[in-house]
Amino acid sequence: MKVTYAKAIGDALKEEMRRDEKVLIYGEDVAQFGNIFGITRGMLEEFGPKRVRNTPIAETAIVATAAGAAMTGLRPCVELMYADFTMVAFTEIFHVVSKWRYMHGPEYKLPLVIRCAEGCANGAGAEHSNVTESLFMHAPGLTIITPSCAYDAKGLLKSAIRSDNPVLFCEPKQLYQVKQEIDDALYESDYTIPIGKADVKRSGRDMTVVAIGLMVPRALEAAEILSREGIELEVIDPRTLAPLDTETIYASLAKTHRAAIVEEGNKTSGVGAELAARFQEEQYDELDGPILRVAALDVPMPYNIPMEKTAVPSVERICAAVRAAL
């Protein structure tokens, strides 16, 4: 069957709510309207208003009440609509959600998932197009997941909901309507994907490309183009940024001896900066050249769609950067 990224997330939510009555969802416009992207449509009718609730536009309250619900035994999966709005609830996510299990002892669990749509999408502008993973990677105790395809989105969201640790689940907007062919029996099984395990999406010998979220399909497309020129990229999707599967990435570096990180977020202090620092510190002897970072330009995201497309890494920009590096 062909499954969209959005449907996979919705199916994961429904399956987990049917499996465990302690799972509940709430957020901005998730009930009657079914979420701005239609992901939770029909869930109010199936699960009722006690488990599917709209909230005021008050992100701090959404996250704070979810933390309280999680500590008392429920498994809330809340939605902040856009990743940009995590900034409104920054204190609750950075201090409360990420730290309270450590602060209050082993009797506390915090099985909480915060879902948010991230990145640019057809002129949403500078306040609705941000990618925020790098900001929250600075918060020890918080799991950060960014799936790049429907199969991974479903399996990772199910794992996130079952986890006793807090999870920030980031969903690139431009992937919502992207379809993936998945075996029917596999998709309909109760499969999960382990948190903290990267996936080698394509094998290659010339350079390791660590691509994140929306950049994974673009890196794979770039790899196909470059393959026709005799350049073979190994594309790795970390899937989970915290914890990061360095074992899989470093095994690739030991084979290719060159590294690139491709991300939708801004270059300065981005995920690529952190990964490049780790590679330099821990894999210096394996590297035959400087670490390449391909990222969004350090500008507020434009409303103008051609300018927006220029700001974010394209397949062509990835290809050009790799050619230059090699």
Which positions are annotated as active-site residues? 59, 128
Contacts by residues 307-311 (CB-CB < 8 Å, ≥ 24 positions apart): 308/120, 308/122, 308/123, 308/129, 311/120
118 DSSP β-pair partners? 172
The DSSP symbol for 48 reads -
d(CA 105, CA 42): 39
**Largest alpha-carbon pair distance within the chain?**
58
What is the Rg, in whole angstroms, of the alpha carbon atoms belonging to the chain?
A: 19
Task: DSSP for 101-169, please give it.
Answer: HHHH-TT-----EEEEEES--SS--TTS----HHHHTTSTT-EEE---SHHHHHHHHHHHHH-SS-EEE
In whole angstroms, give the CA distance from residue 99 to residue 147. Answer: 24
